[in-house]
Structure 1
Amino acid sequence: MDEMRIVILGKTGVGKSSLANTILGENVFRIGDTGNSETSECRSETRRVDGRDVTLIDTPGLFDTGRPEEELKAAIVKCITECSPGPHAFLIVFKVERFTGQEQEVINKIHQYFSEEAFKYATVLFTHGDDLKEEQTIEEYFHNNQRVSDLMKKCGGRCHVVDNKYWKNNQLDDYRSNQFQVKQLMKTIDHMIEANKGSCYTNEMLQAVEKLIQEEEEKIRQSSGNKTEEEIREEAKKSV
């Protein structure tokens, strides 16, 4: 696949923006050093990764952002506009730590905003991998956690781990190397897209947004003959 759209989901402070930078191989998303969400609105960036264009959509924390629910819903709609006609994958991000009711609430909200169908397009990804014991895998770490097991089952057993700080240049242990984990993640997403017959996730809201974008694109084409298709698309998304 020549292009891939990936939405990153998770609560504030789990390292979503750092993860996006790790996947893209450069610092394009702003990183916060406080417990507050640095990402107040959905933002997308596209870079070449393993020979294809990868667009990452970084989202506001789905839990504990301190923002009203209605405002958060509006941000999710913005996310849907950014990834129209639909994402090929969702990354559901957690830290390597105790899996509590707060983490479960993230799963509940994904179900609420995107439906159960979204998990067919999802991969679970843990950050702070350096908190694993020596030679321990992420599957071993959560072996006896029923909530994590249930989530992984929903996501077809797809699970990866990175450490945005300590695994950047690890040459001694493939598993504890971000470069290795990102390559494995891309393979996992490729296999998932293949299993989903090349389709991207969609719902009624995404379909409605895509229709509006296409109508806006046609208006822009008629009024301006010297813009590229990429420029037309970006302008149309801003107008919707």
Structure 2
Amino acid sequence: MEGLQKSTYGTIVEGTGAYHAAESYWLRILLVGKSGCGKSATGNSILCRQAFKSRLRAQSVTRTSQAEIGTWEGRSFLVVDTPPIFESKAQNQDMDKDIGDCYLLCAPGPHVLLLVTQLGRFTAQDTMAVRRVKEIFGAGVMKHMIILFTHKEDLTDETLDGFVTHTDNHSLRSLVQECGRRYCAFNNRASGEEQQGQLAELMTVVRRLEQECESSFYSNDLFLHAHVFLSGDKSEHQEAYRCYLSKVRQEVERQKQELKEQEVSWVAKMLYRVKPCMGLHIFIIVCGLILIAILINLLITKGN
């Protein structure tokens, strides 16, 4: 295993060209979710070692994107942990850099986006995190998403499938459908055989996703820009990086606008479908009122 070194873009593999030479063959897993959801602890569980800094707290410990390497049945994989960029108010002067660095570590694109959320605690913050994922990476990224529930140990007499099937959380049920019902669960305190078993379950879902996507990874214009930047002339590094971050800002804004337009279009379609039904209901109600009025009139007439 090669060493790891800190770079401008987080943590990457040491060695001339080592990262880029191997990137086409590695399985790339990007951890996403709200702050404090357990992304780093989940990354450690996947790697079966303490690679990412993790603590039990509601706020994120991770401040920059970080990538670590693991292996599973002879295949190398890259796990990328992310800073708090999926919050509704996640706007600061370093946001473009944080998003840009995340793209750089995942270039040319992730095979899997692993949405981390606590079992039984899917809240409005999680829903907002999913929206931010779409804004940052594009709505098409949902085809590569797997939901990972932490706190698997809380499943006592119920299976994970049973929990997902019978949950009364409509937002979660909708998300599960949007993700093609791809999910699994971890106990991030597990070790040994239990930890290996969890990883095996995750990799089973990953293989299913790869079959559905024909082994392709997710990419968009920004991942292409990131790939070009990493392959570019290092003599003009700073200027190229500023230009790259400018593209990050523009593309994220464009994707946010596209998402809004898609939502407006969806609402318009729903209203169009509902409108004929509403007209029919109104017609039935009016006919009913007319019938009641006629009956009342007949009763009054007979009474006289």
User: Quick one: distance in 2 between partners of 1:199 and 1:73?
Assistant: 27
> Which residue of the other structure, out of 107, 110, 132, is the alignment partner of 1:87?
110
**What is aligned with 1:230?**
none
**What is aligned with 2:170?**
146
**What is aligned with 2:211?**
194
Q: State whether structure 2 residue 181 is matched by structure 1 residue 157.
A: yes
Q: How does 1:69-88 map to 2 (within 5 A)?
A: 69-88=92-111
- What percentage of residue pairs aligned between the two structures are identical? 27
* TM-score under structure 2 length normalisation: 0.64
> Which residue of the other structure, out of 188, 204, 209, is the alignment partner of 2:226?
209
Could you tell me which runs of 5 or more consecutive residues in structure 2 were left unpaired when the two chains were aligned: 1-23, 245-304
**What is aligned with 1:59?**
82
What value does the CA root-mean-square deviation take over the aligned residues? 2.5
* TM-score under structure 1 length normalisation: 0.80
**What is aligned with 2:51?**
28
Q: CA deviation at 1:135?
A: 3.2
User: Quick one: distance in 1 between partners of 2:87 and 2:143?
Assistant: 26
Q: CA deviation at 1:97?
A: 2.7
**What is aligned with 2:276?**
none
Distance 1:106 1:64, change over 3 A: closer
Distance 1:29 1:66, change over 3 A: farther
After TM superposition, where is structure 1 displaced by more than 6 Å over at least 4 residues in a row? none
Verify the 8 A CA contact 1:5 1:88 in the aligned structure 2.
Answer: yes
Could you tell me which runs of 5 or more consecutive residues in structure 1 were left unpaired when the two chains were aligned: 172-176, 220-235
For each residue in 1:145-199, what CA deviation from the matched residue of structure 2 results, as whole angstroms up to 9, or x when unmatched? 221111111111100000111x335x6xxxxx33222112112112212221221
Kindly provide the amino acid, as one letter, of the partner of residue 139 in structure 1.
D
Verify the 8 A CA contact 1:24 1:49 in the aligned structure 2.
Answer: no
How many residues in Structure 1 have an aligned counterpart in Structure 2?
Answer: 214
Q: CA deviation at 1:214?
A: 1.8
Verify the 8 A CA contact 2:85 2:99 in the aligned structure 1.
Answer: no
Q: Give the secondary-structure state (helix, strand or coil) at the position aligned to 1:215.
A: coil
Say which one has the larger Rg.
2
Verify the 8 A CA contact 2:65 2:102 in the aligned structure 1.
Answer: yes
Q: CA deviation at 1:111?
A: 1.2
Verify the 8 A CA contact 2:151 2:187 in the aligned structure 1.
Answer: yes
Distance 1:67 1:123, change over 3 A: closer
Distance 1:65 1:179, change over 3 A: farther
**What is aligned with 1:105?**
128
Verify the 8 A CA contact 2:88 2:132 in the aligned structure 1.
Answer: no
Kindly provide the amino acid, as one letter, of the partner of residue 78 in structure 1.
D
Kindly provide the amino acid, as one letter, of the partner of residue 162 in structure 1.
F
